[in-house]
Structure 1
Amino acid sequence: MKDAYYKNNLIKLYQGDSLKLMKLMRPNSVDVIIADPPYFLSNGGFSNRGGKKVSVDKGSWDKLSAEYESTEQFNDIFLSEAKRILKYDGTPWVFGSMHNIFEVGYLMKKNDYRILNNITWQKLNPPPNLSCRMFTHSTETIIWAKKDKQSHQVFNYQLMRERNYGKQMTDVWSTPVIKKIEKRFGYHPTQKPLSLFIRMIEASTTPEMLILDPFLGSGTTAVACQMLQRQCIGIELSSNYLDIATRRIKNEEGALF
């Protein structure tokens, strides 16, 4: 790997194309992958933000590069590289919506992962549907899988039960879309709530584990790792988003006020 864009004793951030940089990583070197890959929805359409009609175009990163024949090829390369660098008992968490999650699930089966859970993230305050021709979209999916069908993944069952007031935690996680304070260091159009990442990391890791986020965005995985004292590698193409991630990590370290 090349020189880090930012690093501290727990976190290393790298700028570059994630699929290319993942190819440089050693096999069996990562314990957990948390990934929010592009949904490839930037097609000139419109969405709703704060009650206003806005473009769905999020940036060039959400458009398929000419070097890939299809979104299926992109996701297949990502999942095959993820499997190569995950340890024997490693697990990936992959975000998606109805636009891409079925393709991701199909490719996980193709790459011989075992799917553990299909987490439904329910947004408690979703934006309304502008067309009024279908139900309001209020959920996204997180697939939790494991690399090897015979392995024994880490699952901190008792902690999750404690977090759920003494009851078994289900595969439906309900949160507001995101708190304003989580965006105070800069805007990212697909930023997810920090609470989701804290839950994934608490559920599936131990303190000595290494976590990779190959589509880091504004750095929520790294911020959660800083809070929970986990090692993290983050890869992101945009220097603007890396700067936001760096400020958020430094704030969690106590270096920014």
Structure 2
Amino acid sequence: MKKIYSDNLSTLIHGDAIEYLRSLPDKSVDIVMTDPPYFLSNGGFSNRGGKRVSVNKGDWDKPKGTDVVGFYEEFLRQVKRVLTDDGAIMIFGNLHSIFIIGYLFRKLDFKIINNIIWQKANPAPNLSRRMFTHSTEMIIWAKKPQGKHVFNYDLMRQINGGKQMKDVWRTPVINRSERRFGKHPTQKPLALMLRMLQACATTRSKVIDPFVGSGTTVVAGKLLGIKVIGVDQQAEYLEIAKQRLADYQNEKIGNIK
């Protein structure tokens, strides 16, 4: 476990997500916001820019005999232990992982607040022509059963033009400026991470992203004045995160509806 960057708001740590969580005291984190591996790197193919490309993201996303359910369960057990009584988690998943996570939330006695749908405005076409094009991922927002989680309702309503915000958010997959220092294969749009933090955090919150990748969550926290600790086991992605933090004022925020 090695700290490779720190300022008044942002911290980056090179290390394993679960090991890092195990090192934290009980009830020491307000929000966990993260995009864990989906374990989909199985040698198949996808489409990018009209070209056939491998679905493999990297060794970190390969099942390789991993007990996927056991991995998610231990991760969520540690999350529950480190969350404060009023803490919450926002976690990404797709059709291959989100139902496992939802089952584990029930097993581990979390209470689900919302299932948010992220709709991609420009998804990759489906090459097999045997199913609908995959154009969504999901974000489960959950808390401890008796917790009083933060929800910045008035801000969300203001952002939404004076109307209650719904649980379907639409964005382009990503814009080029967010990858100006390098690419992460599962990088999420900055606009999406900003909205998630705006919804459930305050400037007093302690936020952790245990699978921070190229740093979008910490960049969003920097822009909002929220303290975020990002952890990742891939040093090359943390280098991208460091450069983005150094240049955070030049981040361009894409559209979100």
If the TM-score is normalised by the length of the shorter chain, which range does it land in?
Answer: over 0.9
Tell me the alpha carbon deviations over residues 195-236 of structure 1, each in whole angstroms, 9 at most, x when there is no partner. Answer: 111011111011111100000100000000000011111110
1:14 counterpart = 2:10: no
Paired AA for residue 116 in structure 2: I
1:125 counterpart = 2:122: yes
Once the 2 structures are TM-superposed, how far is the Cα of residue 253 of structure 1 from its aligned partner? 5.7
* TM alignment of 1:86-235, pairs within 5 A: 86-146=83-143, 148-235=144-231
Paired AA for residue 182 in structure 1: E
- Per the alignment, residue 57 of structure 2 pairs with 58
Which SS does the other structure have where 2:81 is aligned?
helix
Percent identity over paired residues:
53
1:76 counterpart = 2:79: no
Take 2:64 and 2:218, find their aligned partners in 1: how far apart are those partners?
A: 26
* TM alignment of 1:31-46, pairs within 5 A: 31-46=30-45
- Per the alignment, residue 244 of structure 1 pairs with 240
Tell me the alpha carbon deviations over residues 3-40 of structure 1, each in whole angstroms, 9 at most, x when there is no partner. Answer: 41111111111111111111001111110001100000
Take 1:55 and 1:144, find their aligned partners in 2: how far apart are those partners?
A: 31
Which SS does the other structure have where 2:3 is aligned?
coil
Alignment RMSD (CA, Å): 1.1
- Segments of 4+ moved more than 6 angstroms: none
Tell me the alpha carbon deviations over residues 112-155 of structure 1, each in whole angstroms, 9 at most, x when there is no partner. Answer: 10000000100011111111111011000000011x21121100
Which SS does the other structure have where 2:191 is aligned?
helix
Residue pair 2:2, 2:14 contacting (<8 A) in 1 also: no
Take 1:65 and 1:211, find their aligned partners in 2: how far apart are those partners?
A: 30
Paired AA for residue 21 in structure 1: Y
Take 1:196 and 1:3, find their aligned partners in 2: how far apart are those partners?
A: 28
Which SS does the other structure have where 1:5 is aligned?
strand
Structure 2 spans left out of the alignment, 5+ residues: 251-257
| Structure-1-length-normalised TM-score | 0.95
- Per the alignment, residue 254 of structure 2 pairs with none
Tell me the alpha carbon deviations over residues 23-59 of structure 1, each in whole angstroms, 9 at most, x when there is no partner. Answer: 0011111100011000000000000111110000110
| Structure-2-length-normalised TM-score | 0.95
Once the 2 structures are TM-superposed, how far is the Cα of residue 74 of structure 1 from its aligned partner? 0.2
Tell me the alpha carbon deviations over residues 59-111 of structure 1, each in whole angstroms, 9 at most, x when there is no partner. Answer: 00001365x4x100000000000000010000000000001100010011111
Which SS does the other structure have where 1:185 is aligned?
coil
Which SS does the other structure have where 1:195 is aligned?
helix
Take 1:64 and 1:94, find their aligned partners in 2: how far apart are those partners?
A: 19
Residue pair 1:31, 1:90 contacting (<8 A) in 2 also: yes
Residue pair 2:2, 2:15 contacting (<8 A) in 1 also: no
Take 1:98 and 1:3, find their aligned partners in 2: how far apart are those partners?
A: 33
Residue pair 1:226, 1:253 contacting (<8 A) in 2 also: no
Paired AA for residue 99 in structure 1: H
